[in-house]
Structure 1
Amino acid sequence: MRGDRSGGMTGERDDGNGRTELGVGIGWRSELDLTVERLAGVDFVEAIAENLRPGDLPESLRLLRAKGVPVIPHGVSLGIGGAEPPSPGRLAHLAACAEALDAPLVSEHLAFVRGGGLEAGHLLPIPRTRESLRVVTENVRRAQDALPVPLALENVAAIFGWPDDELTEGRFLAELVERTGVRLLVDVANLYTNQVNLGLSAVAALDDLPLERLAYVHVAGGYEHQGIWHDTHTTAAPEPVLDLLTELCARAAPPGVLLEWDDEFPSDAVLAAELGRIRAAMAAGAERVR
């Protein structure tokens, strides 16, 4: 079931380049279900696939789907960046979630999460070498063949860098896209995290990325402690992250931008204000193109 179709859910729009126009959204969490249902300006949502049972979806997600709100299954444990092929069982679950939600696409992380029977317990960066690129290319193709909709891969927030890297993150992703046609989920908060913690230029990464293959964008907040940025998804996005969103929007019009908030949930008013800040940052980037 090659995942190369653009999606056909009611209310979705194809931009003519095979990309589904999504708008501005928020990460669906069970703690936020009533908030998401009643919050104005939520064009789409993303749900953690590992928390879903395709045959028994939460009532809130069923309600959102009935209202025509796109729901994207977002995986956190496939481990497509490992040396071992992705698990057929995990791929089958992602596929079932996509079918149950009539999703336009599925997203996952370009990360290492397990190997040799051991679970890392974290989304770890992969070595950006030519050999790693060959392995990941094959893993992505396996995943695409198993999914009924397109796959988008997300850049991760790294807690360390591999000493033998041969490619920048942007160039690695660009070559992976060229080889597989996979779409990109660009997390600008993760780019900011890597800039603060590893000294990797976030703007240079944007310059390298093939943004014409952009599926959507993540925005999230965190905090700095003793010179280290912690990408916690528990607070408002800092201005540097929104500045990166503006930089991205000055280069390409993203089909969608989604706010992630995973704990210490604020009021509806705070979340609505965050969506407003995202829209303002997007508009500022679009204005620079004119």
Structure 2
Amino acid sequence: MGALGVGIGWRPELDLTVERLPGVDFAEVVAENLRPDRLPESLVLLRKRGLPVLPHAVSLSLGGAAPVEVKRVARLAALAEALEAPLVSDHVCFVRAGGLDSGHLLPVPRTREALDVLVANVREAQKALPVPLALENIAALLDWPDAELTEAQFLTELTERTGCLLLVDVANLYANARNLGSDPERLLDELPLERLAYVHIAGGVERDGVYHDTHAHPILPEVLELLEELAARTDPPGVLLERDDDFPTDDELAAELAAIRAVVTPP
């Protein structure tokens, strides 16, 4: 593979698991859940072993109309420095509007005006960050009407205008295919994969005709197939397994990591 390898999302419930799991090359943490000046001992241990630990933010709201909140970016920057992280990430989304916080990652309208706002906010955040910023495609339950750009065009122009990297979540691609009727393979064909930082993969489940990207279920074979499609187009620098709830046994997680590695490692 590339520089990162196969990794897993570190969570407090998985701290001992991540320490002892075989085949973990790097880890990712939810940035808002940590204090830069008080890192958990488990993460300190992983860093001493030389494992990269990447902060993944969920609250910058870079796609929102409001200016970027300086304190949030400064905290992410401090965490990146404390972890000596090679990069940080967030999402192509907004979470706040009109003084309200949705608590969810909401899709950005794919219009020229919305792209201009996103680009301006990304550039502002980049000024305060000590390392490159990667942005992730989200799973959405709705598409805004009157789109002026396809998702690939939107993300391509975003990377061109800001120099940001892409964090491609193949589980989100699958969710959008199921719920919105998008074509994930065509999107992979059209994305600027030369800007790929790494990849997310996770499990989900269908309820009442809607597919939910839960991060609490095993990876579906169809999602692994999308990872294989991506790997056929480019050599992903890293692939990270996300699990946030209903945590399985160490053996089950190790099996999922092995399945991921089998897909992205040439025979």
Give the TM-score band, short-chain normalised.
Answer: over 0.9
Residue by residue over 1:186-230, the C-alpha shift from the partner in whole angstroms, topping out at 9 and shown as x without a partner, is: 000000000000001111111111000100000000001122101
Over aligned residues, Cα RMSD in angstroms? 1.1
Pick from 193, 198, 209 the counterpart of residue 191 of structure 2: 209
Identify the residue that residue 9 of structure 1 maps to in structure 2.
none
Question: 1:275 and 1:217 mapped to 2: Cα distance?
Answer: 13
Distance in 2, matches of 1:169 and 1:42, equals 32
Spell out the pairing of 1:113-124 with structure 2 (5 A cutoff): 113-124=95-106
Task: Please point out which of 85, 108, 111 is paired with 2:67.
Answer: 85
Residue 78 of structure 2 aligns to which amino acid in structure 1?
A: A
1:191 corresponds, among 163, 173, 179, to 173
Q: How far apart are the structure 1 equivalents of 2:173 and 2:148? A: 19
Aligned-partner Cα distance in 1 for 2:5–2:19 = 16
Task: Report 1:19-30 matches (<5 A).
Answer: 21-30=3-12
Q: Residue 207 of structure 2: which of 187, 209, 225 is its match? A: 225
Long gaps (5+) in structure 2: none
Note the alpha carbon deviations across 1:223-255, whole angstroms, 9 max, x for none: 011221010001111011110100000001011
Q: Does the residue aligned with 1:254 lie in a helix, a strand or coil?
A: coil
- Aligned equivalent of 2:35: 53
For residues 1-290 of structure 1, the aligned pairs below 5 Å read 21-283=3-265, 286=266
Moved over 4 A (4+): none
- Aligned mates of 2:219, 2:206 — CA distance in 1: 12
- Structure 1 SS opposite 2:29: strand
Q: Report the alpha carbon displacement of residue 120 of structure 1 after superposing the two structures with TM.
A: 1.2
Cα distance in 1 for partners of 2:222, 2:67 equals 37
Separation of aligned partners in 2, 1:231 and 1:28: 18
1:231, 1:223 → 2: CA distance? 7
CA–CA distance in structure 1, aligned partners of residues 74 and 152 of structure 2: 29
* Aligned-residue offset at 1:115: 1.1
Match of 1:5 in 2: none
- Measured in 2, the distance between the counterparts of 1:32 and 1:185 equals 23
Aligned-pair CA distance for 1:85: 1.8
Partner of 1:4: none
- Partner Cα distance (2:157, 2:141) in 1: 23
Question: How far apart are residue 72 of structure 1 and its match?
Answer: 0.2
- Structure 2 SS opposite 1:141: helix
Structure 2 CA distance, aligned partners of 1:181 and 1:278? 28
Q: How many percent of aligned residue pairs carry the same amino acid?
A: 66
Aligned length: 267
Give SS of 2:27's match. Answer: strand
Q: 1:228 and 1:280 mapped to 2: Cα distance? A: 29
TM-score (norm 2): 0.98
The 3-state SS of whatever aligns with 1:244 is helix
- List gaps (5 residues or longer) in structure 1: 1-12, 16-20
> Counterpart of 1:244 in structure 2: which amino acid?
L
1:137-179 CA-to-partner distances (Å, cap 9, x unmatched) read: 1111111111000000000000100011111111100110111
Secondary structure, counterpart of 1:264 in structure 2: coil
Give the aligned residue type for 1:248.
L
